[in-house]
Structure formats: C-alpha cells, structure tokens
Amino acid sequence: MPEVERKSKITASRKLMLKSLMLAKAKECWDQELEEREAEKSRYLAERIPTLQTRGLSLSALQDLCRDLQAKVEVVDEERYDIEAKCLHNTREERPVEVGDWRKNVEAMSGMEGRKKMFDAAKSPTSQ
C-alpha cells in the first residue's frame, strides 16, 4: 500500500493566528497573576507592618526606634540564612538512596565472577 501524504486540516495562516492568540491569552493571564501577587503582597505587608510614626519624636526616641528596627532586621536575616542553609543542604544531600542486597553489589563490583565460581566448586565436596 503506498503511503498517502496527509494534508493538515488547518492552514498555516490559521495555525499562526491561533498560536498568536494563545500567546496573547497566556501573556494576559501572566500579567493578571503578577498583579494579583503584588496586590496580595501589599495586603500582607499592610496587615503585618504598622506604619511608622516619626513625627514629633525626639532624637533619642528616633535612635531607640532605629535600634529596635535594626534588631528585628538582624533576627529576620538570621532566620533567612538558616532556612537558606537548610534548603541548600536538602537539595545537595537528600537524594534517594537505594538499599539492596550488599552481597550482589560486592559480587558485581568485584569483577571476580569466574574466580568465585572456581572457589565455590573447589569448596564443595566432589561434584562428579
């Protein structure tokens, strides 16, 4: 049976148009997702971080505020460093290790299949 060349049901221009529409829709979804992330981030920060009231504070009060903020930054930075170190350790060290029969591994690694058979044959009582 001779092979018959299949013709595409969609023309090349139609394919190109559909591809460009799909890309435009994907970009639209991507932009919307970025906007949603930014809005969520802003909402979260507004909820967690109170606004600073620095008006009317004396120099010593401003210095105390700066010391408090610096202490909080150091705590958060230490936590970030610890989490980063744990993640790095987990990605480097936590690979799945297969545990199998160690005897098979020793035999395969030794490369002495023939010698082992000779040793086993010599060890057994008369095999004739």
pLDDT at 3 over 90: no
Examine residue 127 and state whether it is found in any structural domain, yes or no. Answer: no
Examine residue 28 and state whether it is found in any structural domain, yes or no. Answer: yes
pLDDT at 89 over 70: yes
Task: Tell me the per-residue pLDDT of 41-74, one tens digit each, with 9 for 90 and over.
Answer: 999 999 988 888 888 899 999 999 999 999 999 9
Distance from chain centroid for Cα 21: 31
User: Are residues 24 and 45 located together in one domain of the fold?
Assistant: yes
User: Are residues 46 and 61 located together in one domain of the fold?
Assistant: no
Examine residue 119 and state whether it is found in any structural domain, yes or no. Answer: no
Examine residue 121 and state whether it is found in any structural domain, yes or no. Answer: no
Does residue 20 contact residue 13 with C-beta atoms inside 8 Å?
A: no
H-helix or E-strand spanning residue 124: none
Examine residue 2 and state whether it is found in any structural domain, yes or no. Answer: no
User: Are residues 42 and 64 located together in one domain of the fold?
Assistant: no
Structural domain total, the chain: 2
Distance from chain centroid for Cα 114: 46
Examine residue 108 and state whether it is found in any structural domain, yes or no. Answer: no
Q: Which domain holds residue 83?
A: 57-92
pLDDT at 31 over 80: yes
pLDDT at 1 over 70: no
Examine residue 86 and state whether it is found in any structural domain, yes or no. Answer: yes
Examine residue 31 and state whether it is found in any structural domain, yes or no. Answer: yes
User: Are residues 41 and 21 located together in one domain of the fold?
Assistant: yes
